[in-house]
Chains A and B, each alone.
Chain A
């Protein structure tokens, strides 16, 4: 954990050099900020961070390249909407450490590169280190390919330098140190779960060592990821979690996702196209997939605030480039979704074998943040907007009264049209027609034709028909209060607590059509377009049915007759029966029956004719 309480134990720091370097750091920071302001933005170029890097491949033509010297930090976020409605966000933070320790020099100056990792790398002579913590499983069939794949649990693979003599011992120590840094149980990695792959894990950085005895690979599938792993990961960033893209990394939202993976990749890279000197590159990546139903609440509309509950306010001041990319390949003219705020920058990149187009937001430009000083990207999918639509529900509480609300939506932008609303309500919901209100856009809307037939108990239901004029782009609400009736006990269904149904209301309308209709004969038209007869050219006939209602009526307790009969019979039997017995029963003394010997003696005496015992 890179905080001031850990005294350096791995490498002896000399006090004076530290003071010098602190002064150098402040001077360099000022130099760095000046350079950042002067950076120009390219409109169309192949971004090298999106290209999967091959070993030893120098970055593609990148005019004008900055002077390759000091530490460098870049941050980037890619947002890719997935076909299933979920959204995939991938963060990458790249710190390049300008230190060449392929040679033998001891490194003790840390500027942007985190000291805890740097000390680990130098002490254990690590050439490449890749560690990832993942929660969830990547669903390739639903989501496509990830930019940076990782297995569930923890995965660690390391290439050591060829100067290491005891690789197994160094591996064991390295896993223990990493378990302390990342607060994970990596110390469970030992010889029983470590392998030396011979072909699958070639070095991703430069170097041509092929002796796989310096490679170790281990996974811990049971390892969980939680805030205690995210916090030290965030502390490795130069800006921490205070500025730039890392302000979005809040654990409550990140772990409420279908897939979460954070990784650290360290490898040596070339500093210049001729590869005369090398430097260490640290890439911290975080991939997260937010689910449409869990995080998106079912609505297909995503924004930075909805995903992370934060917006971006500034780029990290130590970053030389800070960009957000949104994948708009499937949305060239904006038919599928709308991206706001609009950005003029567009970039193409070849990634995962496909050429994709991205809208770019450059956070180093103040203009990206607009007047509100915050950037919240919004991707809104075009929703289906049928012209006529309706809903109905019961409002109120208790078992005595209630209200029926019917909402009719007119989504046409400028045309108003009339509709006929038919409601047939059973007699046991007694409607109070004097409470009927019709309102559109908050104002009263009187129907031009009403036909109402009141109900008669146990004979006929209510019938209400109205002709309403729907204003354009509005919601019309029809409200009527009712009271529930108490039915006779034989009229209840065997399952009365289920409720009683009210049939759908019917809305019949002539809806303005987009295309002129053909009023001629329907003989040679397909069946699905010729059901309703077409009388006019400019509109077509349509019926919309609302939901049925399920209403609870006051229900008696049907077990009461049985209870009453039982109780009454018990009272009668016990009370009257005892009294009757008491009054009419007589009592006699009864002789006890004699023993066996006496009975035999009595039998003999009977024979003899002598009086019995």
Chain B
């Protein structure tokens, strides 16, 4: 009997060994790997049937007329607000009956007031938002029912609903008081920051999908650049001495690695920017004036491991995508040792990150394609909203209860728009 028992255990070990080898081999030969974040394996979830969204009918001065005045809004990195509106209008999650809706969407384009150079000015945005909310609260009863707790707004500007591009001023203003209970969908994300509300959904900035598709190169082109970056290190116009822009991190990258052959970094604008990213192993995504950047989206699409240098940043869809396993996070104070940090990553880890990046659902989740495709950023936003359901009991106010202070905020905001 003893012999049989030992033989049985021996066979078990052998089987386990063989199975592990097979699994190892299988894992190695697969070019992609499944992605599951803290919320689970949710990238490919289908939001249809899990939530219903009602789209308010606002007068066109809030959306269409603004777009007509400046069609450049369709191409800049804040264009997500426009495309989300278009997506929701024709999506199966839309419902025309507000009584059965779980979420309410207000189509207002707050980031479309552009300077001649294409830069959005946020000075009128608080007033515009305020006037829109006044409109929906007086024409429909649903705002007052919850004071906005089941409403969501897209605010893709630099510091979200703080509506300013300068961080100090944005912190000063804080989030618009009227949006205090609503869910914000924004590109900005930094932990413990005034402008990141609890429960916000972080989305990637808009990057034109067709443009990136046309610059794809064959996948067997060997990756020969170690670290790649193109962009400013010093913002000479606004911060000539350095130290404010990017909290000194970009300048530190330049000063420490400008003569390093492994770091292909410069301020040039090459025509082969996308192609070069596909030939690089690591792509730097340091913060600028705001911590987020379209470089993250570009790096993910082109399979280049993003090196994120932005303390406390919250990356898009952080509960669905496990960014720590995909990108490399470097503290701003560790920038002088960036080469040591990157070369000390074991090759198996690098290959795993590349496999995760090669996953098509990962790439799809970062894009806003027109027309919408399953698994893209629009669907991830809806998934995020669906995960917040059902609404908490505190969302629904008792009759006559008022939480919002309609006269809060700077006096300039109270002027009608």
**A, B co-complexed:** no
